[in-house]
Structure 1
Amino acid sequence: MTGEFAYISWVRQQTAGDARVPIGIGDDAAAVRLTSGRDALITTDMILEGVHFDLSRTTPRMVGRKAMAVNLSDIAAMAAVPVAAVVSVGLPGDLPQQSAEELYHGIRGLADEFSVALVGGDTNLSRSGLVVSITLVGETTQRGPVRRCDARPEDWILATGSFGGSIVGKHLEFTPRVREALALHERYDLHAMIDVSDGLAADLGHILEESNCGAVLRASKIPISDAARQMPGPVSPLDRALHDGEDFELLCTLAADDARRLLTEQPLGVPVSHIGFITAGRELVLEADDGSRRKLEPMGYDHFRQ
């Protein structure tokens, strides 16, 4: 690296000239101009070398892309429009300048795809590998945000895409479902929604906890990815779909009539599946093909238990 301030100066040159950012890099805080009367949503995610990625198996550009993507996925989960981001990085002292620039280009490439302004951040020396933390600001639509806390008994549970086996590559290469979430929110009355990062069972569990509800998942209806089906080892494809995590698909609940219409119209260009329904109880239950049921523990990725 050529030095912290030289790197900051280089990043500042790359981010200049966005009309939504009257005050950008250079002051103690940035200013972002939002549309009057709408809420700003703020989310943050950190990814660490040795936990979320291995630089011997991927590139700094892909790491930067993932760091932005996981934050965009959180904004998608609330059906909001991403606006601006603050990026903080801990750079190892032996990281080449070219790698630091590639990291930035990975972040910037996905930011540009979703019209996100990069407005500032922080840099520091890391003695324990590469660290990237992004704070993303989003803006709600006129319909407001979709939250986790309004799932209702008899709601249908729908999910985009497929689940399991993301470690094969999807966890680095996925495209956050921002456009899909906005399209769903515009056309249907979504009661609750979340992005599946910790695992299908775990993230449904978050909805149930916030909504004081239970759910039945139908095993035969869960879309299992090809990657999960092809992975060797003792873990079944179904268990991978339920618990692997980092699928970054949308999981939502809505009334049966709206759900039927959505499933008939399939408006997203990505499959939407009906995988279960919300109940008035408090348990998460998995229903097998023969109709038998067992309690499903909403376990998934937990950083402090790995």
Structure 2
Amino acid sequence: MPPAEHSEWNWIDDVRRRAGSGPRVAIGIGDDTALLKTSTATLVTTDMLMDGVDFVVGETPADLIGRKCLAVNLSDIAAMAGRPTGAVVSLALPRRGGRALAEGLYDGLLRLAQESGCPIVGGDTNSWDGPLVVNVAVLGEPTGRGAVTRAGARPGDRVFVTGPVGGSLPSLRHCTFRPRLSEAQALHQCVELHAMLDLSDGLSSDLFHIVEASQVGIELDAGAIPIHDDVAPGQPHADRLNHALSDGEDFELLFCVSEEDAQTLLSQPPGGVELYSIGRCVPEPGVWLLGADSRRPLGRGGWEHRFT
């Protein structure tokens, strides 16, 4: 029989005390369900992250694992220009060392929850003989003009990203990035966002989501793509560009706006928002990479979960 302080109920009580509450939380952790006071429209997103795929237990600090598991969901809310209202967290913990691992995970989870105004309002905890699996679901509400989708890009639109890309995995930036919630809302207030998503699988892959949803094409200016300093500067430029296109897990925002609104953003960027204009939408479906004197089709790169 484990000591009382190691019991599931003791653990839930500890998490409930640490999670606190928020203005939209009518009922939080401890009941059969949480009760959130939200607008009539609700954004819902969920991600499952696994040891050996999205992080490596023993190599990645536990608090950064917990942080990432919440951050990737908050990034999805940002991609819709939304505001998070609450999160539920489910853990499948390895039996050996599970309690210490859970405590580390929640250090990172609760810290980011407080920073982002997204209270953790419930979830589930289990243990098994397998590796760590974490599932987080975040609820949110639209802001401003409503939810921004991937489907509104138009020929003539300018394409932007909110920061440099590439090299996120070796640097652990995939665990420490800041979800672009405030940037998305600032942009949403300033201009009409025609389409937007967050860069999770890689620029060369995620572009196709907008292309297919909006039924447009995109021409990328190879010289305008911002390459992150985490990509080794000693590599040939072509290799560094390939990292920027394909590495993934940058979690910057990729968005499309009219030419007029693009000029507004470039001349008067909203406070604190970093902006890079990297291309244009065109009528012809597909994605192309423009060099100084070339135009070539760009295939899907980046990450893809494969199964049979």
For the criterion TM > 0.5, the same-fold answer is yes
Q: Structure 2: how far apart are the matches of 1:188 and 1:202? A: 26
Task: Name which of 159, 173, 183 aligns with 1:170.
Answer: 173
> What residue is the counterpart of 1:242 in the other structure?
245
Change (3 A) 1:22 1:271: closer
Q: Structure 2: how far apart are the matches of 1:211 and 1:105? A: 40
**Matched-pair contact (CA < 8 Å) for 2:82–2:142:** yes
Across the aligned residues of Structure 1 and Structure 2, the Cα RMSD in angstroms comes to 1.8
Which residues of 2 match residues 227-306 of structure 1 at below 5 A? 227-230=230-233, 236-290=239-293, 292-304=294-306
**Matched-pair contact (CA < 8 Å) for 1:284–1:298:** no
**Matched-pair contact (CA < 8 Å) for 2:12–2:30:** no
Q: Structure 2: how far apart are the matches of 1:17 and 1:260? A: 41
Which residues of 2 match residues 20-169 of structure 1 at below 5 A? 20-35=24-39, 38-167=40-169, 168-169=171-172
Shift of 1:270: 4.3
Change (3 A) 1:232 1:125: farther
- Per the normalisation by structure 1, the TM-score is 0.94
Shift of 1:229: 3.6
**Matched-pair contact (CA < 8 Å) for 2:18–2:110:** no
**Matched-pair contact (CA < 8 Å) for 2:20–2:119:** no
Shift of 1:39: 1.3
Q: Which secondary structure state, in structure 1, belongs to the residue aligned with residue 35 of structure 2?
A: coil
Q: Structure 2: how far apart are the matches of 1:39 and 1:231? A: 49
Shift of 1:275: 0.4
**Matched-pair contact (CA < 8 Å) for 1:158–1:252:** yes
Q: Structure 1: how far apart are the matches of 2:266 and 2:42? A: 31
**Matched-pair contact (CA < 8 Å) for 1:79–1:140:** yes
- Per the normalisation by structure 2, the TM-score is 0.93
Shift of 1:64: 0.5
**Matched-pair contact (CA < 8 Å) for 1:43–1:75:** yes
Change (3 A) 1:119 1:234: same
Change (3 A) 1:205 1:81: same
Gaps of 5+ in 1: none
Q: Structure 2: how far apart are the matches of 1:205 and 1:17? A: 39
Shift of 1:235: 7.5
Change (3 A) 1:293 1:87: same
Q: Which secondary structure state, in structure 2, belongs to the residue aligned with residue 69 of structure 1?
A: helix
> What residue is the counterpart of 1:14 in the other structure?
18
**Matched-pair contact (CA < 8 Å) for 1:42–1:136:** yes
**Matched-pair contact (CA < 8 Å) for 1:153–1:278:** yes
Q: Structure 1: how far apart are the matches of 2:264 and 2:22? A: 40
Q: Which secondary structure state, in structure 1, belongs to the residue aligned with residue 184 of structure 2?
A: helix
Q: Deviations over 1:100-131 (max 9, x none)?
A: 11211210100100111111001111322111
Task: Name which of 174, 180, 183 aligns with 1:180.
Answer: 183
**Matched-pair contact (CA < 8 Å) for 1:285–1:294:** yes
Q: Structure 1: how far apart are the matches of 2:196 and 2:74? A: 14
Q: Which secondary structure state, in structure 1, belongs to the residue aligned with residue 17 of structure 2?
A: helix
Shift of 1:296: 0.5
Q: Deviations over 1:10-32 (max 9, x none)?
A: 21232344342222223322110
**Matched-pair contact (CA < 8 Å) for 1:198–1:302:** yes
Change (3 A) 1:23 1:271: closer
**Matched-pair contact (CA < 8 Å) for 1:166–1:244:** yes
Shift of 1:226: 1.2
Q: Structure 2: how far apart are the matches of 1:150 and 1:257? A: 16
**Matched-pair contact (CA < 8 Å) for 2:153–2:195:** yes
- Identity across matched positions, percent: 45
Matched residue pairs, number?
A: 302
